[in-house]
Amino acid sequence: MEEPVWTNNSCFPACGAETSRRFSAYVVTVIHNRSRGLLSPEDEDELASSTFFALWQSCRTVKAGSIRAWLGSVARNKTVDRLRRARMDMPLDEE
């Protein structure tokens, strides 16, 4: 049996504050572990907020039973993107 796909942000409880409270520690842990501690706590919090905002935007397509996996994937991808951007912005040391 296939899991239902919710069709409206207002009727999908996963977009609410309860989901944020339930999974926030998990999301921050994924971000911290993936960044290997290279990001500041403020950057980690910003990425976590961005991850939950992405969930809110994607409520219509996220299956109800796969929220944790979806959040982990998005958090990991956003962390990798942030680290890539940071690496590109670092000046080269001149010898």
Length of the chain as a residue count = 95
Q: For Cα atoms 64, 10, 58, give the angle at the middle one, nearest 5 degrees.
A: 50
Provide the pLDDT for residue 62.
85
Q: How far apart are CA 33 and CA 64, in angstroms?
A: 26
- Kindly report the pTM of this predicted structure: 0.74
Which tens digit of pLDDT belongs to each residue from 67-95?
999 999 999 999 999 999 887 554 555 55
On the question of pLDDT at 6 being above 50, the answer is no
**What tens digit of pLDDT does each residue of 26-79 get?**
999 999 999 988 899 999 999 999 999 999 998 888 887 889 999 999 999 999
Q: What's the N-to-C CA distance of the chain in angstroms?
A: 63
Burial class (CB in 10 A: 0-12, 13-18, 19+), 82: buried
For the cut 90, the answer to whether the pLDDT of residue 14 exceeds it is no
Model confidence band, residue 4 (pLDDT cutoffs 50, 70, 90): very low
